[in-house]
Amino acid sequence: MATVELKGLHIIKAKGKTYVYAWRGGPRIDAPLGTPQFHAAYNEAVADARMPDARKIRGVLAQYRAHEDFKKLAPTTRKIWSRWLDRIDAHFGELSASQFDRVEKIRPVIRRWRGTFAHQPRTADYAMQVLSRVCSFMVDPLGVISVNPCEGIKHLYEVDRAEIIWTEDDIAALRPLASVEVMRAVDLASATGLRPADLVRLSWSHVTKNAIIITTSKSRHKREAVIPLYAGLRTLLDTMPRKSTAVLVNSRGRPWTVDGLNSSFTAAFRDEASPLKGRDLHFYDLRGTAATRFYLAALSVRVIAEIMGWEEETVERIIRRYVARNAAIEATILALDSARTGTSAVKNV
């Protein structure tokens, strides 16, 4: 059979035998030289050599690009994220994935990288969003690190969004585009006012007979959020499947991570068919929606402020802006009737 010379082959003859290697120092190819089996083995060896080392961040990035989580991003988002993944590769690519499991040592490195964009705070935060998503991917599904080292690193860009909220129509517009699992998180956020970090760790053990009681991440778990189980919230919880100790789970039945939830939410929000595309709405803005629902459930401004961790003036501005006048009047009548009869529609907490 005729042989075909392939560039780079390393051939050694010893003790009357011929050994063929894909290249000097490369893997040995046992199939007869020139056969289809030989070419297949050679091509496989070359392909393996081109694949980044899975133990390094460069290999993790290659796996993330090939994963469904990345592919399901909107085309525009995927294009922008690709550029950031290239930057992450250039800076962190040669580091081993295990180095990202040493949180106290890797965080200063991450902060220094973020600092190179500090003159553009929003850009710096976007860089951190992409890196955080990669780190979350290393936690689940890869399982190569135990925690996301980006969590807890504060954003540089600050804006007061307390008075920006999702209306009921906005939520209705998102519902056909988002998965059932994402919408459960949206509905629970708009019913409780919990931040994403607290939503994803909310477990059924936090749901008591009369309230949801959970320590807040923002206070480093020094303060508790106590959210009364008003009728709408109780009904919503009754519709939640109990597939885990966590109240919210993803499509695989596993508890959400913050980045996983944000990524899936953003993909639905920015869908080409979304009437919300281009609107300045974030998942976090659902907290304002919760404030209006608390008010319509007859909670006082003081109680709402305590639950949200806001000033009472902020809650009052939201109510004036977003609660329809008739609804506000009805809520006031309910409060007055309760006071006159000596009863309380909602127990103060």
Q: Binning pLDDT at 50, 70 and 90, where does residue 11 land?
A: confident
- Return the higher-pLDDT residue of 298 and 27: 298
Angle at 66 between CA 60 and CA 67, to 5 degrees: 85
Q: Binning pLDDT at 50, 70 and 90, where does residue 99 land?
A: very high
| Spatial CA neighbour of 72 closest among 182, 160, 236 | 182
- Residue for token pair 């998942």: 283
pTM above 0.85, yes or no: no
Handedness of CA 81, 86, 91, 92 (dihedral sign): positive
Average pLDDT over every residue of 55-82: 87
Q: Binning pLDDT at 50, 70 and 90, where does residue 3 land?
A: very low
The domain covering 168-273+282-341 belongs, at the CATH homologous superfamily level, to: Intergrase catalytic core (1.10.443.10)
Res 249: pLDDT: 95
Q: How many CB atoms lie within 10 A of CB 289?
A: 22
Res 298: pLDDT: 86
* Dihedral of the alpha carbons of 248, 249, 251, 256, in degrees to the nearest 10: 100
- DSSP for 36-74, please give it: HHHHHHHHHHHHHHHSPPTTBHHHHHHHHHHSHHHHTS-
Tell me: pLDDT of 76 over 70. Answer: yes
Tell me: pLDDT of 176 over 90. Answer: yes
Res 248: pLDDT: 96
Res 331: pLDDT: 65
**287-325 pLDDT, tens per residue?**
889 998 898 888 899 999 888 878 888 888 888 877 755
Amino acid in position 267: A
Q: Binning pLDDT at 50, 70 and 90, where does residue 272 land?
A: confident
**Where exactly are the structural domains of the chain?**
10-50, 57-142, 168-273+282-341
Q: Binning pLDDT at 50, 70 and 90, where does residue 247 land?
A: very high
Res 48: pLDDT: 63
- DSSP for 108-130, please give it: HHHHHHHHTTTTSHHHHHHHHHH
* Dihedral of the alpha carbons of 190, 194, 199, 204, in degrees to the nearest 10: -90
- Alpha-carbon gap, residue 254 to 256, rounded angstroms: 6
Q: Binning pLDDT at 50, 70 and 90, where does residue 98 land?
A: very high
DSSP state of 101: G
